[in-house]
Amino acid sequence: MVLCPVIGKLLHKRVVLASASPRRQEILSNAPLLRVPCGGAGESHHQQPSLLSTSWVGCHDFIDLSAFGKPLTLCSCNPSVPDAEVARLMCDRDSSPSGLDPSPAAGLSQQVRLPLQPQGSGLRFEVVPSRFKETLSKAAFPSPFAYAMETAKQKALEKDLRTPDVVIGADTIVAVEGQVLEKPVDKQDAYDMLSRLSGKEHSVFTGVAIVSCTCTEHVLDTQVSEFYEETRVKFSELSEDLLWDYIHSGEPMDKAGGYGIQALGGMLVEYVRGDFLNVVGFPLNRFCKKLAELYCPPSGQDVRRAHHDSIPAVDSFETLRDQDGGGPQPAPSDVGPGAGPASTGSLRGLSEADGDPPAPGSSEAGCNGQAERQSPFPAGLLDLIDGFKASKALFTACKLRLFDVLRDGAHRSAADVACQVDAGVCGTRRLLDVCVGLGLLQRTAQGYSNTELADRYLVSDGECSLHSFVVHSNDHTWPLFSRLEQAVREGPRQHRGASWEEAGDPSQDCRQDKPMEATHSLATLTARRLASAFDLTRFPSACQLGGCTGALPWALALESPRLKVTVFDCPEVLQQVSRLQPQGGRTALVSLVPGDPCRDALPAADLYILPRLPPEWPDDRVHQLLRRVAASCRPGGGLLLAEVALDEGQGAARRGLRHRLDLLVRTPGRDWSLGECGRLLAQHGFPDVRVAPVGDIPGAVLGIRAGP
């Protein structure tokens, strides 16, 4: 047995695993025994016998596939478990210590445990299940893997024992067509999930956070390294009988996505692209590469990538030094016969978090001989190319009011829906099926019905409805973006169409550029999160300059009951704001005062709010408005800049980055980042600046007025 040098680095450290997952614990505890599986662990693409791959020889049970009527392919790259021994254990059930029932039915629920490594010879760690409640809003993250990485980090950072040296947190999720599938709440929910996966490829993302802890002078310092791994899994077309047989087994009920590939759920899988152990719950290959980067960084000279017996290829194994002290000096591993050159880059989803995946076209040794590696499948890129079709399907469904027909749990056939919306049955059925695939509808034997997401946001008269915004995007935004190439070539002002209006005051965008109701539906959604971005209890009163739709003032009144809010804008805008004003409750604390924020005296207030800095304004006009606010704001008062669309750097939210294109095709001008807004406030007498990025929606900046 060759101990993985990177794992050896941790043997003298106190390692805590912030996870109660038994599969995750088993993968890590048996890490040193793992060998390179057929075709490479990082890029495996195998049919159903993958359940008997090497990944399971070192750390998991074999499942007897002969019970499924499939040919049995046995493969062992672990010298401690010869193939003959595997075959004997799999076939000689009567003499096995487990005493398995030899009937085929028993093969579906019983497993054969292979001889594993001696107890304690793997990575030693303590299991401290995290108390972190997984209540993060998925809507706040630009992608499923970002959600998984943040959840893993929070799990790792939440701990209550004595300070460890290393904490490992992980979270695995299933995502299909951009939607995260949780654990099913009941059998019908499990049926809906598995029906969505039937015949399709989906992604399994695992986010991993490695927290290194040091304590200096009783002060805890933590350094977090995080990454994610994506594996693509293809389900076969599943019959109703097979689905319900699997659901009645009880296995889907505690599994994200409704299946477990390491057990009975493996019979649903047609193939796997990527790390098989990632689907089980932990990407061991990528984890060891990350450990190599953290504890054994390569020297200045070029380091050759090699393939080792005990763990898949990891850079710098040949030049490892015991830099941490106290750990054993590992012996270099033999280079496998299929070692390939180093690589640079890979497409996983839309981007790679970090790491150095193998080069397409390289080859490496498998347990059955030489196996050529396949290029990574660019699933995320293909989804991006086809993304406009999904948008258009949503737009069309809203234009036809499909979600209104299927509201409140109504189940209808495609023919019924077609009759209601005055459309053809064939086309309606196809559109309904696409909406099922997008996670907007669900399909059962009774017919089609809305998901909770559609009932909440896509029904035209719902409290949180985005229906008018979707229709506006179809009727106005879609035609503008169809001319994006021309706008890029000629510039925004040359490309300006007849529907665009000249720049004006802060409410100009709401009055002229977008229908008020469409703007209000989106503003209502984002205002609730902006209103809670800061603690505003120190301010008894607030005045918003420029009413726009009034969504933010009413959200502030609901969030801060003692805050009296004034909306200051010209009469025609206030008339629209009043029409959209919710009735009763705390919103009675919102007052509408007519006036021009750029010319008239500003109402007295402890907090002034600018719903946005108009992108079409020149800089001198922005400074003029800020000087007016600073002159009216007393010391200790505040100025809140809301809906700051862009963050700085490569970590900017995707939606904020797309806003730059809005400025190109819609309203020419500049965009203001959170950092730039903070500097603006400091320049105008608000030196105490607080910034609140709000996930994937526009952020906010709060400045506190300095004393005289």
- Could you tell me the maximum CA-CA distance found in the chain, to the nearest angstrom? 93
Query: Which residues lie below 8 Å from residue 254, measured CB to CB, with a gap of 6+?
Result: 183
Amino acid at 550: G
Give me the amino acid identity at 28.
Answer: L
Give the Cα separation of 633 and 607 in Å (integer): 8
Which one from 64, 94, 101, 171 is the annotated catalytic residue?
171
640 token code pair = 């809140």
Distance (Å, whole) CA 706 – CA 635: 5
Burial of 518 (0-12, 13-18, 19+ CB in 10 A): buried
Our measurement of the distance from residue 561's CA atom to the centroid of its chain's CA atoms, rounded to an integer in Å, reads 34
Judge residue 366's burial from the number of C-beta atoms within 10 Å of its C-beta, 0-12 exposed, 13-18 middle, 19 or more buried.
Answer: buried
Residue 441's nearest CA partner among 666, 196, 235 is 196
Question: Where are the alpha helices (H) located in 100-186, listed in sequence order?
Answer: 144-157
How far CA 72 is from CA of 52, 62, 77, 289, in Å, comes to 9, 11, 17, 33
Q: Is residue 171 annotated as part of the catalytic site, yes or no?
A: yes
How many angstroms from the chain centroid is the CA of residue 706?
40
Single-letter amino acid, residue 170 = A
Distances (CA, A) of 141 to 116, 179, 400: 40, 12, 30
H, E, C per residue of 203-215? EEEEEEEEEEEEE
Q: How far apart are CA 244 and CA 238, in angstroms?
A: 10
- 354 alpha-carbon distance from chain centroid: 16
Catalytically active residues are: 171
